[in-house]
Structure 1
Amino acid sequence: MNSQNTILVINAGSSSIKFYLYGISEARELSPILGGQLEGIGTQHSRLVVRDAHGQTMTDRQIAPRHAADVRDAQEVVGTWLSGHLSGSPLAVGHRVVHGGPDLHTPVLVDDAIIDKLKSYTSLAPLHQPNNLAPIQVIRERLPALPQVACFDTAFHRTHSAVADRYAVPETMYQEGVHRYGFHGLSYEYVAQRLQRALPDLKGGKIVAAHLGSGVSACAMLDGKSMDSTMGFTALEGLPMGTRPGRLDPGIGLWLMERGMSHDEIQHFLYHECGLKGLSGIGNDMRELEASDAPAARLALDYFAWRVAEGMVGLGCAMNGIDAFIFTAGIGENSASMRARIARHWEWLGVHIDDERNKGHGPRISTEDSKIGVYVVRTNEELIIAQHTLDLVSAR
């Protein structure tokens, strides 16, 4: 396969690397060629699965633990597989990077200065940033001339007002970078573009979208631009998540310190032991919780639905109203029961869900007489990254 007219996209996390290859037409339009994932990084069950654009399996094999001990190792495995199936290098590689900090508001070509700057933001996204950067560094070592583009989850939210961008802290802290950055911006950017094409009646409308996955947030969008988001300085704030608490009284952090917990212990607790996992005592898999009869599982689901519903409605204040609610990402796209749980809290707004539409996963899942429309939109962060990457390298 000739790869010179392709864009490679890499989305690296702590336990998996996802990668996608897009072809570039003469009209500079992108089309998927293949997609893959190496999951179970750092476990005894690492596995590489690659499928073509039609869903046909190209590779499905277990990876020896010593070859996928961390994200760097996993990227080596992915790179070796790609080298064996592609003729030459892609035009460029695009990466999802969670935090762009106070300075990086648009996609950028990666160089030494950018790497150093992104490393300095690690404390703002300790769960994500090091893993986002690892594949970039591996590729730079192996193919230093290959252009790489960093695309930021925070960039979409730079259209926030000064009020939405702030905390009630001294100005000196704001000048030092203590902002409400917001996250999942690549997902919301895709949703905004998709609405313009697939649901033109909502173009320019007052939209509240919720990205419900292992990470969870909601975003107010007016005319396709972010007005406010539930996440802030870090990806801990806002709505409850798989293993993160979301909204939390800062005094709890002080209380944990008084009990003798160190910085690293508190950080691990907040990023890995809270959220659905902490509430249920079972885990953070929505499917497992929905199938459980345990009272703690029901509590976790009820809490999640209530806080998400509350947070989404609150974002209407940023736009003086709401025309539509959008669900996206893993839970938002696939859990009809959780969408129904959330929407029940909006009945006072005249919102009504059509059960059959909801079971069919949309796009519209509300009744025709619902005062506010409710929709499901499948996100595609990778396509947004590929488009940004193509645009940037083409402009050089």
Structure 2
Amino acid sequence: MNGSILALNAGSSSLKFRLYEVHGEQFSLILRGQFDGLNSNPHLAVKEASGKEIADLDLVLEDNMREDMLERIFEIIKPYTVNNPLRAVGHRILHGGARFSAPVLLDDAIVDYLETLVPMGPLHQPANLASVKLFRKIRPELPQIACFDTAFHVNIDPRAARYPIPRQYSDKGYRRYGFHGLSYTYIAGRLREISEYLSRKRSVVAHLGSGSSLCAMRNGKAVDTTMGMTPLGGLMMGTRSGTIDPGLVLALIETEGLSPADLKHMLYYDSGLVGVSGISPDLRVLLASDDPRAAQAVELFVFSATREIAAMAASMEGMDSLVFSAGIGENSALMRTMICDRLAWMGVTLDEEANAKNAAIISAPESRIEVRIIPTDEEVILAKQTALVIGEGAHGDAAA
């Protein structure tokens, strides 16, 4: 296809967008923008691919905040789509359930189905769908494509997908789905570009950010992952607890009197780094603090990450490479050092100088496990998957 694609990544407190010019299989970034602080102090920043600043301003958004943001996006991109008409919008959708293993052209029935998955992603799914509905209202003629964060994991090892609960519930779709799939799709593609041999290796990819997960990957496909039916499971995160004993949840209900709503808020918003430290969900803040609670939170994050990396290796019966990605993984040399030091028993040895420089390969020559940094790019995957659907008239594949 030829034209432009708008890639939209809507979160609970931010909205990222990118405009790509597409000619056949060539994708060129035209501009990128982001609305931040939607729950407190809204701010818009937009730059062209060259780095030229288009907007950098604080906003006053009314009750129809998201509609206002989308109208602003159309105003911003209009001059850039005169000669390359906007063909479609690609939306990051957190959860596709058991039904979708590929991007899909959205219609009323699909949107209704995705609404039923909101309980599996209460932080993200409502924001994702709000943008879809508003775009369909503002520009009903413009195709809207859903690109699912769960799709990459649909065919993980059945033993990893199944929970040990009565079959009557697993038959209804209560299983491990996994998330950050757009990021892992990009990393799998980069591994193939670097080397087909590298792509075939047993790799653990560490997507570490405010939301964190791991993916055990071989031959470019997911074998296992840390997040489960919801993005609450797995690693300790900025505000999310990660996996905890279900008995603890029961005790909080029975002994502490917490309601389901109280528990949801605590586990999604008040746990993880901010819960343990009582200071901040931001690792940068905690690493700069001399408060012992901050150090305890950081140590627990490292402990959680290394324990789960070992679990991912067990799922593949070995590990040949470790890939760091996302905000923390790409930018924090100290966190990479702390994690890799705890993996020395597996044969991980860092090249400290390469690590400090954020080099592509940060393991020492003698390291049994190769350690890499690969910056992720979820938005370009959104654009490519959207172009594929528009170009082929695809309507998504039902998962087996």
Q: Scaled by the length of structure 1, what TM-score is found?
A: 0.95
SS at 2:364 equivalent: coil
Structure 2 partner of 1:177: 173
Q: Distance in 1 between matches of 2:180 and 2:94?
A: 8
Q: Please state how far the C-alpha of 1:252 moved relative to its aligned partner.
A: 1.8
Structure 2 partner of 1:81: 76
The answer (yes or no) to whether the contact 2:3–2:85 under 8 Å persists in 1 is no
Q: Please state how far the C-alpha of 1:104 moved relative to its aligned partner.
A: 1.4
Q: Please state how far the C-alpha of 1:77 moved relative to its aligned partner.
A: 3.3
The answer (yes or no) to whether the contact 2:96–2:150 under 8 Å persists in 1 is yes
Instruction: Check 1:368–1:206 CA distance in 2 against 1; reply closer, same or farther (3 A cut).
Output: same
SS at 2:134 equivalent: helix
Structure 2 partner of 1:19: 17
Q: Distance in 2 between matches of 1:85 and 1:388?
A: 21
Q: Please state how far the C-alpha of 1:201 moved relative to its aligned partner.
A: 4.0
Q: Distance in 2 between matches of 1:394 and 1:90?
A: 13
Structure 1 partner of 2:398: none
| Partner residue of 2:298 out of 295, 298, 301 | 301
Cα displacement string for residues 203-247 of structure 1 (whole angstroms, at most 9, x for unaligned residues): 211010010011110000010000000111111111100000102
**2:93 counterpart of 1:97:** yes
Instruction: Check 1:262–1:72 CA distance in 2 against 1; reply closer, same or farther (3 A cut).
Output: farther
Q: Please state how far the C-alpha of 1:85 moved relative to its aligned partner.
A: 5.7
SS at 2:154 equivalent: helix
**Superposition RMSD in Å:** 1.6
Letter in 2 for 1:325: L
SS at 1:36 equivalent: strand
| Partner residue of 1:377 out of 341, 352, 374 | 374
Letter in 2 for 1:75: L
Q: Distance in 2 between matches of 1:221 and 1:107?
A: 21
| Partner residue of 1:224 out of 220, 228, 241 | 220
- Percentage identity across paired residues of the two chains: 43
Q: Distance in 1 between matches of 2:352 and 2:195?
A: 21
Deviating more after overlay: 366-375 vs 314-323: 314-323
SS at 1:326 equivalent: strand
The answer (yes or no) to whether the contact 2:19–2:77 under 8 Å persists in 1 is no
| Partner residue of 1:284 out of 281, 284, 289 | 281
Q: Distance in 2 between matches of 1:358 and 1:91?
A: 41
Cα displacement string for residues 342-392 of structure 1 (whole angstroms, at most 9, x for unaligned residues): 001111122111111101112111101001011100001111111110011
Q: Distance in 2 between matches of 1:75 and 1:282?
A: 34
| Partner residue of 1:8 out of 2, 6, 9 | 6
Q: Scaled by the length of structure 2, what TM-score is found?
A: 0.94
Higher relative contact order (CA 8 A, sep 6+): 2
Structure 1 partner of 2:319: 322
Letter in 2 for 1:302: E
Alignment of 1:188-337 (within 5 A): 188-258=184-254, 259-337=256-334
Structure 1 partner of 2:385: 388
Could you tell me which runs of 5 or more consecutive residues in structure 1 were left unpaired when the two chains were aligned.
none
Q: Distance in 1 between matches of 2:25 and 2:189?
A: 17
The answer (yes or no) to whether the contact 1:156–1:189 under 8 Å persists in 2 is yes
Q: Distance in 2 between matches of 1:89 and 1:96?
A: 21
Cα displacement string for residues 84-142 of structure 1 (whole angstroms, at most 9, x for unaligned residues): 66438511110100100111111100000110000000000000000011111111001
Structure 1 partner of 2:142: 146
**2:23 counterpart of 1:58:** no
Q: Please state how far the C-alpha of 1:34 moved relative to its aligned partner.
A: 0.5
Letter in 2 for 1:224: G
Q: Distance in 1 between matches of 2:153 and 2:360?
A: 25
The answer (yes or no) to whether the contact 1:9–1:19 under 8 Å persists in 2 is yes
Q: Distance in 1 between matches of 2:154 and 2:328?
A: 26
Q: Please state how far the C-alpha of 1:278 moved relative to its aligned partner.
A: 0.4
Q: Please state how far the C-alpha of 1:78 moved relative to its aligned partner.
A: 2.7
Q: Please state how far the C-alpha of 1:83 moved relative to its aligned partner.
A: 4.0
